[in-house]
Amino acid sequence: MNTLYITGAGVSAASGIPTFRGEDGYWTIGSKNYTPMEMATRAMYQNAPKEFLAWYYHRFATYRNHGPNDVHHWLSDKNLITQNIDGLDGKAGNKNYIAIHGRLDQMTLFHEQGEPVTPVATPWDSVDESRLQESLFELFNIQNQTPDLNHSFKPFVLLFDEYYTELYRITQAQQRMLNADKIVFMGTSFSVNITQMAIEIARNYDIPVEVVDPAPAHILHANVTYKKMNALDYIQSN
């Protein structure tokens, strides 16, 4: 059976990485002046890169050295699309997973969306926290207090006011959904577009769905099974 696994932040919680909407979640904690929804935008990066990069560094890059947990290792040979940018699936050995929202350990040239660019490694360890703003500006090649198109860099992450492009392997992701005999959602709140896309494909092509979550969100699909458990319990029962 060709099972497609689509994972969210709940899968990485056991690695010590906050979920997005929990008490200390990424989207619960913003900056001094902005909400998380305001921070995680292309517009914020363009207009207030100092605030954006400091927030991104503290809320994401500080988790860059965390390791994969048993769920990531179990998924290492599976057909996988993850919403997570933490890169733990790659650390666990999955060679062909799709990181549909980007990867924490990479950056790209700051480009117009849709233009072809190649992600490169982000040298986070070169950041000097004693001079954080200057160091981050040097890292992302920002010279005039604002990022320059095709000159500066941008974290390889899909922001709220951006859209899925081939940089994020969106066509491949859709093809994996269409080819699946079953789609298993693990640790996701179904609040982003990629999960809605998968549910719509599952409905249109009558693909059975499993939802693995201690408090699973109800989805509109006639052929769905709810597994009210965390991902670790799920893999131990399979």
Domains annotated on the chain, with CATH: 1-16+68-101+162-238 (3.40.50.1220), 18-65+123-157 (no CATH)
Instruction: Write down the pLDDT at residue 22.
Output: 42
Which helix (H) or strand (E) segment is 47 a member of? helix 42-47
149-195 pLDDT, tens digit per residue, is: 999 999 999 999 999 999 999 999 999 999 999 999 999 988 888 99
Q: Structure pTM?
A: 0.90
Q: What is the dihedral of CA 27, 13, 235, 172, to 10 degrees?
A: 50
Crossing angle of helices 49-59 and 132-139, in 10° steps, is 100
Instruction: Write down the pLDDT at residue 194.
Output: 95
Three-class secondary structure of residue 51 per DSSP: helix
92-132 pLDDT, tens digit per residue, is: 999 999 999 999 999 999 999 999 999 999 999 999 999 99
Instruction: Write down the pLDDT at residue 222.
Output: 87
Whether the pLDDT of residue 200 is over 80: the answer is yes
Whether the pLDDT of residue 46 is over 70: the answer is yes
Instruction: Write down the pLDDT at residue 17.
Output: 77
212-223 pLDDT, tens digit per residue, is: 999 888 898 889
Instruction: Write down the pLDDT at residue 34.
Output: 61
